[in-house]
Amino acid sequence: MMKARRCYSQRMSFQVFGIPVSRGVAIGRAVLVASSRIDVAHYFIDDASVASEIERCLRGRDEVVRELETLKTDLPSDAPHELAALLDVHLMLLHDEALTGATKQWIVERHYNAEWALSAQLEVLARQFDEMEDEYLRERKADLEQVVERVLGALAREQGKSQGNAASLAQRDFAGEDPLLLVAADIAPADMMQFKRSVFHGFITDIGGKTSHTAIVARSMDIPAVVGTREASRLIRQDDWVIIDGDVGAVIVNPSPIVLEEYRFRQRQSELERARLARLRHTPAVTLDGERIELHANIELPGDAPAAVEAGATGVGLFRSEFLFMNRGGQLPGEDEQFEAYRAAVEAMRGMPVTIRTVDIGADKPLDRMSPSELRHEHVLNPAMGLRAIRWSLAEPSMFRQQLRAIYRASAYGKIRLLIPMVAHLGEVRQIQEAIVRVKQQLTDSGQAYTHVDLGVMIEIPAAAVMLPLLLPHVDFVSIGTNDLIQYTLAIDRADEAVAHLYDPWHPAVLHLIASTISQARQAGRSVSVCGEMAGDPAFTDLLLAMGLRSFSMHPAQIPTVKQRILRADAARLSSAVPQILASEDPATVAETVFAGQRQRTTPLH
């Protein structure tokens, strides 16, 4: 009934468009991770486990066969005839080579675990059913899904159901094989973390926005990614050849040889460009008029710190500590475990400052693995405005003090700065200060070493930007979180692709808040940086320099490009354009025109 076809070589070429979130070109074969309807583990097995994995798959199948046969024998004599016929259809599907044979192929050729192989093959076959002309046959897709779900259930029972969806794509040597690109309806930020150092060369998701945390983690991996395509995971099939154009947000599926060649050329060009920019690693970031600029790194885990040093970062401007708290099945990291993580980051930065942000759980970063769509639709009414970040920390005082103690203990090993997310009230700063006093006393009492730690707050809620003069006397520094500042100023959910076109960093209201925060902090003698995605986007480098920003924090991979812009900028001259840009109805166009004109009049030294 079904053809045991696994790959689609003759499929038509088509394009899908989404939001470009990480630059560059990736070319490879699509790997679809299962929809959340069937929650299966995805991981690669090693060569030695192929035979036993096939065995395991067949055992799962045989168990379901036995179940169905027992059901059939136990059918009461007056049971409708259709019931027995249905069980026969299910048994037939279970023995069909198109299911078992091709599933084995995924295990042998791709080293997928049994569950992944089965769900990949289900996906292939389900599409074949969809294309059938005969309505009766088309409707057999539901039967196929049911039997596969039964087999997955049997496998999960055998395994004790250990891994969650898409969580275990361990590293595997794919040398000599086609590059793989991951396609999914959505990926939770915590799952995205698992893909760091994984085999994928690019990502495509149906949902998400430019500064959703899934996108941020993809960007930190420095591989092309397009999110918010709405339907890529429905249109793209397992093993399709796909090009991701991360510069414009295009996904080209089954490209023609000419298009493929064109993109291979672009890929080579961007590799050359990267190599050229990497040579700036040891060049200090100083503008043409001699302003020294700090280029700090945003990291998610201590293991990211060496890449920051390698990229030429002069410190860590944002350590998103919440990634230490995720995917732990409700078990939060204890004080010692956190202390080790912070100390590791500090030591890896070799004396350069490390800004640790207290846990920013909530919104699109839940504690447990939950995809953005699950979050949005099932669990929390309005997570971005709920109990997130410092609100959650203050609601969990002993957890908060534990984190503060771990941070202060790590301060004995290097320069640490403490950064608080989502501050909106002066009362919150007071509560934080009280917690710090108590924690320092506890450490002193127990004879544990610590040194001075600067306290800073993130300016990411418009209220904080507007009341900055009241906040500044109480803090040592501020860091502008433009991702959330834009979200809350414009009332646009940063993770929602439906309103992504309205998420506008160039909006005059956003620019006013950023400009006033920078100038007021400077006037008050407080250091100010930007650690949102605008800091790493070269389209904003001139503007932020013009506004007086001297400290930027971004993913390590973005540092060379931003540094190149800094080396070519004359900060004093740029600043003269700020009033005109802020007064304009169309700041993006005015900034582009004015800055381009200035660049023409400036002869770069680099």
Catalytic residues: 213, 531
CA–CA dist 322, 341 (Å, integer):
12
239 phi-psi bin (left φ>0, alpha ψ -120 to 50, beta other)? left
- Give the per-residue contact string, 203-222, with ligand PEP (x = CB under 6 A; - = no): -------------x------
Q: Is the dihedral of CA 517, 520, 522, 525 positive or negative?
A: negative
Q: β-strand 225-227 against 19-22: which pairing, if any? A: antiparallel
Tell me which of ligand PEP, Mg ion, none is bound by residue 482, counting a contact when its beta carbon lies within the kind-specific cut-off of 5 to 8 angstroms. ligand PEP
Q: How many residues does the chain have?
A: 606
Closer to Mg ion by Cβ: residue 484 or 533: 484
Nearest approach in angstroms of CB 159 to ligand PEP is 34
Tell me which of Mg ion, ligand PEP, none is bound by residue 24, counting a contact when its beta carbon lies within the kind-specific cut-off of 5 to 8 angstroms. none
- C-alpha Rg value of the chain to the nearest Å: 27
Give Cα separations from 314 to 15, 108, 353, 544 (angstroms): 41, 46, 8, 18
Tell me which of ligand PEP, Mg ion, none is bound by residue 531, counting a contact when its beta carbon lies within the kind-specific cut-off of 5 to 8 angstroms. ligand PEP
With beta carbons less than 8 A apart as the criterion, state whether 538 and 554 touch. Answer: no
- Give the per-residue contact string, 439-478, with Mg ion (x = CB under 5 A; - = no): ---------------------x------------------
Instruction: Select from 24, 209, 481, 560 the one that contacts Mg ion (CB under 5 A).
Output: 481
Q: Measured in whole angstroms, how far is the alpha carbon of residue 288 from the centre of its chain? A: 35
With beta carbons less than 8 A apart as the criterion, state whether 255 and 263 touch. Answer: yes
Nearest approach in angstroms of CB 391 to ligand PEP is 13
Residue 383 binds ligand PEP (CB under 6 A): no
Residue 115 binds Mg ion (CB under 5 A): no
Q: Select from 34-42, 154-162, 478-486, 495-503 the region that touches ligand PEP (CB under 6 A).
A: 478-486
Closest CA to 126 of 93, 86, 166: 93
Q: Select from 172-180, 434-442, 480-488, 583-591 the region that touches ligand PEP (CB under 6 A).
A: 480-488
3-state secondary structure of 385: helix
Q: 381-417 b/e with 16+ CB inside 10 Å = b?
A: eebbbeebbbbbbbebeebbbbbbbbbbbbbebbbbb
| Interface with ligand PEP in residues 309-328 (CB under 6 A) | 318, 320
Nearest approach in angstroms of CB 534 to ligand PEP is 8
Instruction: Select from 202, 481, 548, 587 the one that contacts ligand PEP (CB under 6 A).
Output: 481
Closer to Mg ion by Cβ: residue 186 or 460: 460
CA–CA dist 554, 569 (Å, integer):
19
Residue 484 binds Mg ion (CB under 5 A): yes
Interface with ligand PEP by CB under 6 A: which residues? 216, 318, 320, 360, 460, 481-484, 531-532
Interface with Mg ion by CB under 5 A: which residues? 460, 481, 484
